[in-house]
Chain A
Amino acid sequence: MLRIVASASRPTRLAVANRRNIASTSARQADITLTVDGKEVTVPQGSALIQACEAAGSPIPRFCYHDRLAIAGNCRWHVPRRGTTLTKTRCVMARSLPFLVSSFFYSSSSAAPAMNGQVVFTNTPLVHEAREGVMEFLLANHPLDCPICDQGGECDLQDQSIRYGSDRTRFHEITGKRAVSNKDLGPIVKTSMNRCIQCTRCVRFANEVAGVEDLGTTGRGNDLQIGMYVEKMMDSELSGNVIDLCPVGALTSKPYAFQARPWELKNTESIDVLDAVGSNIRVDSRGVQVMRIQPRTNDNVNEEWISDKTRYAYDGLRTQRLTTPLVKGPDNRFVAASWPDALSAIADGLKRTGASGNEIKAVAGHLADTESLVVLKDLVNRLGSDNLASDLADKSGDAPPVHGVDIKSNYSFNSSIPGLESADAILLVGTNPRHEAAVLNSRIRKSWLHSELVVGMVGPRADTTYAYEHLGEDAKALQKFLGGKTNGDFAERWAKAERPMIIVGSAIGEHVDGEAVFSMLAQYIQSAGTRLVRDDWNGFNVLQRVASRPAAYEIGFVPSRAAASTTPKFIYLLNADEIDPASIPADAFVVYQGHHGDRGAALADVCLPGAAYTEKGATWVNTEGRSQLGRAAVPPPGAARDDWKIVRALAEVVGVDLPYDDVVSVRDRMWAISPSLVRWDALEETSLPVAKAGLASLAGKKKAATGQKLELPITNFYQTDVVSRASVTMAQCTRAFVTRESEPLAKGAVEMHA
């Protein structure tokens, strides 16, 4: 298990200046100096030798070592030469090694600690010979199926055997190579276990990050196998990451199997929008299609992981798309139209319904980008309306949010995502981060594993990947806890915590007790003095679950009180697909702009095809308030257009003059609204006085809790928006992990065997 040394993982304190430079870590810990390939390097005490070598600019080839996993040292691969003598070594992981012999002679530097004054060579003939030897052992049982292996072209084993391997083998086993049966890990991970080199990265990932403690190893030596012990699928919302981790082709991607080779793909670095974490992704496309989505490392957001929804919902981008403007004809059927026709049909509709002022309503959906929200708000405002709703299934989106939008810290994740690692007590209120922000949840688990973090939860019980103390199901239980009337371990630890953290789920704002919960929390924080909110710590967090919501709040895309009670006559749905059809008056004229033909489009009189998130360069704001710039990887299909351009063109047709014509000036407008929207990648914290003012405004609202049970907003993690609802892979995951229809050990199947 990897111990986070003192507070080394606290991002604010561990100021690593650039990627290679562990040496610049602050000198709190004793530093040691060693020589790697004739270069002196200083690393913090307790670093692995492999880290020291990397810091010295001599990265060591590796299989089992991974920066974000505990050290195993079982592949015996990376073997720098230590000192002048090749010392004998501890055979640390011999039990899992078919490569025992080599490990007697060479030490493995991922397992070896760096020592002061050590002299290390990483590039001598002896080292090469050693690597060649280990490689020969690794390949002894590795099938020669690179041409049909999906890892081909981005395989560590392939690359390293080209570089260090021998051109022939001395291994001639009469019985043939080791054969291992494949495992069924579910609709996402495809296995080809013959190829496994037993690095156990997947096992360590499942144990440490995903919290699936039943992926493991059985057997020893040559018989060691990776599997779930019983016929079971790997039920984790992060399971796709083992595909990346696997250095060979043993675990590959099922949906992507035999689809493309890495060298055919164009990589576009972008931002994920299927939850509000804003995971950094790389969209790999070929021609006009997105072929796969990979994570991009960013320690401030998603480290190196993305959720399965982020990774595999992309096949939903190919189906159910709106490719051409549609106008509903007299017989209630959609007819394809040209852009000018569709836009003038909208202008006519607006005139015909006679909508004016707040009767013109715009609804911001989950996947609306910031640019189009800004342009739409400007358009609607200039038409004289303040009716800017958000897209929520019940009617709560029509009313102004209970936390208000004047102060950013009232609806943001103020502690920041890396800040989770320094929290020592977390109180979850009406949220299951595992479903609402899967990658963020893995940080909580990380912190829970490596520190003495305790977690308490108010709200429905949920299957998290860490233990928590359940404090109750409703706002009254929360009140009791905050009033100090709850006993138990968590309450004790909470009272003593130095960096306590409250995480309020976004669904609380939609609950009848929302106002009560926010105000009691604000009052509690105020009464707790500097314990929760102070200069270096803001422990009040709202976890948003929808990508567009933080940006919508930031630009003030919320209705005024007067607008909330107006019956709309003209409704503009911007990517709004969760909307309740009953909330749309029968005689209203409805326009849907978006990329999928889902619920929203079905309600519309005119559909305008927009671009999906992989098809437009747009700004996205995550739950922390970090704005990031997504990029277009592929063009939108058919006549679909960038969303802000559509709204801009519509403004021209309905006779509203908007002062921007290109994306640069739209971003100028965004800058005028809130400069942080265009300060990409930077996280701008709310200053302490402002945050306190925000809390005061929340605390001011006195409302008694009704005690109605809190509810979790997401029941099916795999299908939460139009893209994932259109995705075949996500449907399979739903069958496998949510409804459990295709689980081998599902009830029916067991009975059949019995």
Chain B
Amino acid sequence: MCLAKPSHHLMLSRSYQPAATITRRIAPSFISRGLASESIPSSSPPVDATKSSDVVPSLSPGVFTAEVVSGAPFRLVLAAQLRHRVVRVYQPTRNTMQSGGAKGERWRIDFDILQGGARWENPLMGYASSADYMQGTRMTFKSQEDAIHFAKKQGWDYYVQAPTVKKIPPKNYSENYIYRPNKLRIMKTK
């Protein structure tokens, strides 16, 4: 079961896309993406927390990725198509069900699901099975830079999603009772 699903997906892409996409990411030509090179030089990733970035490829000079350090055979690395994935670096928004904003200051990395391999209902138990060993992983960091650094070390391409800015006007209890000259626009039922 575990293998059946993703291979089904691959079948689709293999039979009609002879130019296999698996090894492409390793090619350095990938860096020369229009947008990435226009606004953000790939060697110095964005630290501007107010802007969303484009996908930044992780090949950056001076950072040894985990697989290089681990000494795993390169062939295995090539085969590990699951490895080269775009992760997202973002700040989770507050749960609107609650008013506390405690976890909102942290930065998170998580993974997009894999087509075909993400999850399916296990016919035996009805549980969700998955062929994607990263689908349950979610990492939390103190700052955006930490998260980006980690992604680079792992050799993950990443995409920074800017946090939204909260705009709340000053509020005052007395405003409930302010006199308004024109026709009353609200009927308060509190």
Residues of chain A whose beta carbon lies under 8 Å from any beta carbon of chain B: 1-5, 8-9, 11, 14, 16-19, 22, 29, 43-48, 51, 59, 61-63, 65-68, 70-73, 92, 110-113, 151, 154-156, 159, 200, 203-204, 206-208, 213-217, 243-244, 247, 262, 267, 269, 280, 282, 286-288, 294-300, 304, 339-340, 343, 418, 448-449, 452, 466-467, 617, 629, 631-636, 639, 641-642, 645, 648-649, 652-653, 661-662, 664, 667-668, 671-672, 675, 678-682
Contacts and interface: CB of A to CB of B under 8 A. Distances in A.
A297 B97 contact: no
Contacts of B12: 339, 641, 645, 649
A297 B115 contact: no
10 contacts: A14-B169, A18-B49, A44-B170, A67-B168, A288-B121, A295-B96, A296-B93, A635-B120, A645-B13, A664-B30
B124 interface: no
Given A73-B173, A288-B121, A632-B113, A59 B164 contact: no
B76 to A, nearest CB: 21
Nearest to A229: B189
Q: Is the interface of A mostly helix, strand, loop or mixed?
A: loop
A216 B98 CA distance: 22
A159 B8 CA distance: 46
B112 A617 contact: yes
A243 B65 CA distance: 46
B119 A634 contact: yes
Interface string B87-125: 010101111111111001000000011111111110000
Contacts of B188: 1, 207, 213
B17 A652 contact: yes
A43 B170 CA distance: 8
Nearest to A658: B17
B79 interface: no
The 7 closest A-B pairs by CB, nearest first: A216-B189, A287-B128, A652-B16, A635-B118, A47-B170, A8-B169, A111-B173
A22 B21 contact: no
Contact of B166 (A299, A632, A642, A675): A299
Interface of B: 8-9, 11-13, 15-17, 19, 21, 24, 30, 33-35, 49, 51-52, 54-55, 86, 88, 90, 92-101, 104, 112-121, 127-128, 161-176, 178, 182, 185-190
B182 A452 contact: yes
Contact of B174 (A62, A113, A247, A675): A113
B169 A62 contact: no
Contact of B115 (A287, A641, A649, A671): A641
Given A9-B167, A297-B164, A645-B12, A681 B116 contact: no
A280 to B, nearest CB: 8
A47 B172 CA distance: 6
Given A111-B173, A299-B167, A681-B52, 12 more contacts: A2-B175, A4-B169, A51-B168, A70-B175, A72-B190, A244-B96, A294-B97, A300-B164, A617-B112, A633-B113, A641-B12, A664-B55
A14 B165 CA distance: 11
Contact of A16 (B35, B116, B167): B167
A5 B166 contact: no
A201 B159 CA distance: 37
B169 A5 contact: yes
Contact of A269 (B24, B49, B92): B92
B115 A642 contact: yes
Nearest to B97: A154
B153 to A, nearest CB: 21
Contacts of A204: 190
A287 B186 contact: no
Q: Is the interface of B mostly helix, strand, loop or mixed?
A: loop
A386 B7 CA distance: 36
B172 A46 contact: yes
A488 B45 CA distance: 57
A634 B117 CA distance: 11
B98 A48 contact: no
Given A288-B120, A635-B116, A635-B119, A151 B55 contact: no
A635 B93 CA distance: 23
Nearest to A303: B167
B186 A213 contact: yes
Nearest to A288: B119
A48 B169 contact: no
A634 B113 contact: yes
A514 to B, nearest CB: 33
Contact of A678 (B35, B90, B164): B35
Contacts of A631: 88, 112
Contact of B176 (A19, A66, A71, A217): A71
B173 A672 contact: no
A653 B16 contact: yes
Given A48-B170, A639-B8, A203 B88 contact: no
A71 B173 contact: yes
B145 to A, nearest CB: 16
Nearest to A204: B190
Most buried by A among B52, B90, B118, B166: B166
A204 B189 CA distance: 8
A5 B117 CA distance: 52
Most buried by A among B55, B97, B100, B164: B97
Contacts of B13: 645, 649
A285 B41 CA distance: 36
B17 A648 contact: yes
A16 B166 contact: yes
A110 B170 CA distance: 11
Given A70-B176, A269-B93, A467-B185, A19 B52 contact: no
B167 A11 contact: yes
Contacts of B162: 681
B92 A267 contact: yes
A214 B189 contact: yes
Nearest to B86: A664
A672 B17 contact: no
Contacts of B168: 16, 22, 51, 67-68
A287 B167 contact: no
B61 to A, nearest CB: 21
A71 B30 CA distance: 53
B164 A45 contact: no
